[in-house]
A and B are shown apart, each in its own frame.
Chain A
């Protein structure tokens, strides 16, 4: 089981190395090799771990834990220093408060001796997460090489701190691996804090006022979650001085009575980290960062850490009022974030709200937490990670070539950047269309919610929210594929690295849909079976039909060959006016007029401000109810 510590330590080593390397010529091979090895190691887990189970690091256990505590303190000092520098007093207060809680916990922990227990483990859920972090995270790192070079060409005023940028990327991966392999909750918390730190620094990369503001927003919200997490640790240390419950697995097994309070606290931390509604501001704000950072935050790291931990605690939450309300927070987030996405024309913002929506759906599944819903939730995590990273990287590439990330400026992208457009098309189809991944999970979620307690509310949310997602994705698709024939092709000058990464991700989007029965059988079902004692899957004939539909979709484009000979091209109908193919016509008084076609955004119905306020208030209220309930249990 060597890959486990390797995966945690190796990216950190690469990160350190990248901090030392000054020039791009050296950085390139190191990033390639680092990403490739990380990806390979996470893949190797697939073969090495048929027998899942804990893996222990016997030596240096106490020392490691104390080292982590020291590192946490160092992080707190560092963050407090930055808070002073930028005069963010709320942040300083939160940081100090959290540090205080940690000191208290550490003293309580040190006062009672702990027995040494297994510390790194892997089961199918962490394996799925590891694959996502290793492969997609690695691909994003490689993509960043080309992207950041162009980024600094285009933004000459941003100081070139690529050394620390790549350092943070790999540190992020390392922290994610630590988080998903750790069984000991103080360790999980340590890695949790490292992801907060990394995201904070990456969002503030450009150093502009806006990015600093958004970075601190992210920091504040995540530290709020961190405080809840620390609260859970202290609660556990108080309830069980022996420290046995500080282990994830024994905690989850210990049942509702003991585990519910920490589960709710940690789920709250998960909600902040995965940016559900009252807290989604930080993830939307995070789009000021360079695009690979957004891709990383949205697909393979950070937000996925939040939902990962909630899915872990799903067995504790299931069947409780608290779990139901947390699920409802997710459901409301799904519905409203999907609606808000309709009113956005900034591609990255649409992607951000769609991420928030999907995370909401995952939390809704995990909060209600029946075995079928957990199955659907894990499936959602996988499909979302791949398609979303693909879309972010496509948008980043397009942005560099056409100088805009606005969907309105992507009109006729199929003519200007055909290959990227096809990839984007597949990515978008992967987010909502029938034989593709996300839809499979939504489908499974509908079926599972019907039989769950109070599931009807969630079915309604899915029915309405699902149709909203159809609207904003299709109109984006429509923009890309409009053929406005006179446009220059600008697809050259995209670096090989970008092509490789985009192609791999596109292939993965399709392959995962084709191979999803295998993924379900070998990764998800065993996990669900182990946790719940029963499992679920889509029925065989439905899977066959889905695969047939996918194949049909793949061969359909060849039908274009059939129509090659039909050649009479007639310009679009313009009310009888003679018009050029790009819709210029002679208006009255002999003036040349150009027609522009813009999507509907329904500002007055789905406006961001209104819905965001309403949703935040609603979710805040729900979280307050959970808090009250939990406080009642705790006291």
Chain B
């Protein structure tokens, strides 16, 4: 495993993640005909959060949020070090469970609803992420990110359906409308701030940083589909992110029922059908 890449991830991911968030806000503003905040605004925000006083509902929140950040970093580092994709996904889920538990621990109505919705989101996207990993295994015969990266063939040509399914759950993961159910990330306040309602000051700062790490990890996941050709891969990552922003700005939020159903149906139709065809080609026709 490549420890150097893991260290680079730990150091650089917040920088990249923050910049991406800044670009996101700028582009969003432009789409709405506004000037928008400075590019570095996300850094100002987080730096400010660390300057604020820490208020708590219960001290145990600290534990869960620290664990959330730590395991997000661990799973991302594992991913960039070329580790086992399934292990990465499990560590990633573990991290999110900690976020949910942090929200539960506060015993507050809004964060409680946020926690329940976050759980719904987790079960909505998790099958598709596992299916993506399985698809990559079926093409490269390895779960190791390092091996998948080194694959000579572009995965996308074997896994178009899986890719589409992954884009669908990516919207959930990036907390973009129409699936921004649990946090009200972009200034809608239907459930106040959902999961993050009771986190404030430095603790909220840690949640934000974890979110940056997470976004970089997810962009890395998209990269994997095109890893055979790095320039194209980077271009695709940029296009995908732009599309996510566009979708975010053009769709109203949907209910959790629709989120769950659509995520599962897309995962089932696109992901599984893709894998089925792949299976048929390799096992039956021996292509």
- Residue A467 CB within 8 A of the other chain: yes
What class of interface size applies to chain A in its complex with B?
35 or more
Are A474's CB and B101's CB within 8 A? yes
What chain B residues lie within 8 Å of A566 (beta carbons)?
Answer: 54, 56, 59, 62
| Given A560-B62, A572-B108, residue A483 in contact with residue B1 (CB < 8 A) | no
Interface centre among A462, A468, A484, A541, by most chain B C-beta atoms within 10 angstroms, is A541
Give bound CA distance, A248 to B104, whole Å: 51
Chain B 49-64, CB within 8 Å of chain A: the 1/0 string? 0000111111110110
Give bound CA distance, A185 to B260, whole Å: 49
Are B56's CB and A439's CB within 8 A? no
Give bound CA distance, A330 to B134, whole Å: 21
- Residue B138 CB within 8 A of the other chain: yes
Cross-interface CB contact of A559 among B63, B103, B105, cutoff 8 Å: B63
| Given A446-B86, A463-B126, A583-B109, residue A474 in contact with residue B192 (CB < 8 A) | no
Contacting B at CB under 8 A, from A522-573, are 539, 541-542, 545-546, 549, 552-553, 556-557, 559-560, 562-564, 566, 568-573
- The distance from the CB of B249 to the nearest CB of chain A, in whole angstroms, is 28
Give bound CA distance, A541 to B82, whole Å: 12
Chain B 178-216, CB within 8 Å of chain A: the 1/0 string? 000000000000001000011000000000000000000
What chain B residues lie within 8 Å of A572 (beta carbons)?
Answer: 57, 106-109, 111, 198
- Residue A433 CB within 8 A of the other chain: yes
- Residue B149 CB within 8 A of the other chain: no
| Given A456-B279, A467-B127, residue A443 in contact with residue B87 (CB < 8 A) | yes
Contacting A at CB under 8 A, from B99-136, are 100-101, 103-112, 115-116, 119-120, 122-123, 126-127, 130-131, 134
Give bound CA distance, A562 to B131, whole Å: 40
Contacting B at CB under 8 A, from A457-492, are 459-460, 462-464, 466-468, 470-471, 474-475, 477-479, 481-485
Chain A 438-455, CB within 8 Å of chain B: the 1/0 string? 010001001100100000
What chain B residues lie within 8 Å of A412 (beta carbons)?
Answer: 107
| Given A471-B122, A556-B70, A563-B59, residue A447 in contact with residue B86 (CB < 8 A) | yes
| Given A447-B143, A482-B104, A549-B74, residue A568 in contact with residue B54 (CB < 8 A) | yes
What chain B residues lie within 8 Å of A549 (beta carbons)?
Answer: 71, 74, 91, 94
Interface centre among A434, A545, A568, by most chain B C-beta atoms within 10 angstroms, is A434
Cross-interface CB contact of B109 among A414, A434, A595, cutoff 8 Å: A595
What chain B residues lie within 8 Å of A559 (beta carbons)?
Answer: 62-63, 66-67
Cross-interface CB contact of B97 among A433, A464, A479, A542, cutoff 8 Å: A433
Chain B 77-98, CB within 8 Å of chain A: the 1/0 string? 0100001101100110110010
Are A471's CB and B59's CB within 8 A? no
What chain B residues lie within 8 Å of A583 (beta carbons)?
Answer: 107-109
What chain B residues lie within 8 Å of A414 (beta carbons)?
Answer: 60
Give bound CA distance, A439 to B267, whole Å: 22
Cross-interface CB contact of A470 among B57, B97, B112, B276, cutoff 8 Å: B97
- Residue B272 CB within 8 A of the other chain: yes
- Residue A599 CB within 8 A of the other chain: yes
| Given A478-B101, A570-B56, residue A597 in contact with residue B109 (CB < 8 A) | yes
- Residue A78 CB within 8 A of the other chain: no
- Among residues of B, the one whose C-beta sits closest to the C-beta of A436 is B94
| Given A443-B86, A569-B57, A599-B116, residue A474 in contact with residue B97 (CB < 8 A) | yes
Are B101's CB and A484's CB within 8 A? no
- Residue B264 CB within 8 A of the other chain: yes
| Given A412-B107, A474-B97, A475-B119, residue A557 in contact with residue B56 (CB < 8 A) | no
Give bound CA distance, A443 to B85, whole Å: 11
Contacting A at CB under 8 A, from B239-271, are 257, 260, 264, 267-268
- Among residues of A, the one whose C-beta sits closest to the C-beta of B116 is A600
Chain A 133-160, CB within 8 Å of chain B: the 1/0 string? 0000000000000000000000000000
B contact face: mostly helix, strand, loop, or mixed: helix
- Residue B155 CB within 8 A of the other chain: no
Are B90's CB and A434's CB within 8 A? yes
- Residue A574 CB within 8 A of the other chain: yes
Give bound CA distance, A470 to B62, whole Å: 23
Are B84's CB and A542's CB within 8 A? yes
Are A471's CB and B123's CB within 8 A? yes
- Residue B237 CB within 8 A of the other chain: no
What chain A residues lie within 8 Å of B268 (beta carbons)?
Answer: 460
Chain B 17-54, CB within 8 Å of chain A: the 1/0 string? 00000000000000000000000000000000000011
Are A450's CB and B126's CB within 8 A? no
- Residue B224 CB within 8 A of the other chain: no
What chain A residues lie within 8 Å of B56 (beta carbons)?
Answer: 566, 568-570
Give bound CA distance, A403 to B105, whole Å: 23
Are A478's CB and B57's CB within 8 A? no
What chain B residues lie within 8 Å of A447 (beta carbons)?
Answer: 86, 143
Contacting B at CB under 8 A, from A169-210, are none
What chain A residues lie within 8 Å of B110 (beta carbons)?
Answer: 573
What chain B residues lie within 8 Å of A479 (beta carbons)?
Answer: 104
Are B86's CB and A470's CB within 8 A? no
Give bound CA distance, A552 to B63, whole Å: 12
Cross-interface CB contact of B107 among A450, A484, A556, A569, cutoff 8 Å: A484
- The distance from the CB of B158 to the nearest CB of chain A, in whole angstroms, is 15
Are A470's CB and B58's CB within 8 A? no
What chain A residues lie within 8 Å of B222 (beta carbons)?
Answer: none
Give bound CA distance, A541 to B275, whole Å: 28
- Among residues of B, the one whose C-beta sits closest to the C-beta of A469 is B123
Are A466's CB and B126's CB within 8 A? yes
- Among residues of A, the one whose C-beta sits closest to the C-beta of B202 is A566
| Given A572-B198, A583-B109, residue A545 in contact with residue B138 (CB < 8 A) | no
Binding site for B on A (CB under 8 A): 411-412, 414, 433-435, 439, 443, 446-447, 450, 456, 459-460, 462-464, 466-468, 470-471, 474-475, 477-479, 481-485, 539, 541-542, 545-546, 549, 552-553, 556-557, 559-560, 562-564, 566, 568-575, 583, 595, 597, 599-600, 605
| 30 A-B pairs in the complex with CB atoms less than 8 angstroms apart | A433-B94, A434-B90, A434-B94, A443-B90, A447-B143, A463-B127, A463-B131, A467-B123, A467-B126, A470-B126, A471-B120, A474-B100, A474-B119, A477-B101, A477-B104, A478-B105, A482-B106, A482-B112, A483-B57, A549-B94, A552-B74, A560-B60, A560-B62, A562-B62, A566-B62, A569-B55, A569-B56, A572-B57, A573-B197, A597-B107
Binding site for A on B (CB under 8 A): 1, 53-60, 62-63, 66-67, 70-71, 74, 78, 83-84, 86-87, 90-91, 93-94, 97, 100-101, 103-112, 115-116, 119-120, 122-123, 126-127, 130-131, 134, 137-138, 143, 192, 197-198, 257, 260, 264, 267-268, 272, 275-276, 279
The 9 A-B pairs at the shortest CB distance, nearest first, are namely A572-B108, A478-B104, A467-B126, A483-B58, A434-B94, A463-B127, A467-B123, A463-B130, A482-B107
| Sample of 9 more A-B contacts, CB < 8 Å, known A412-B107, A470-B123, A482-B106 | A446-B86, A471-B122, A474-B100, A478-B103, A539-B84, A546-B87, A566-B62, A597-B107, A600-B116
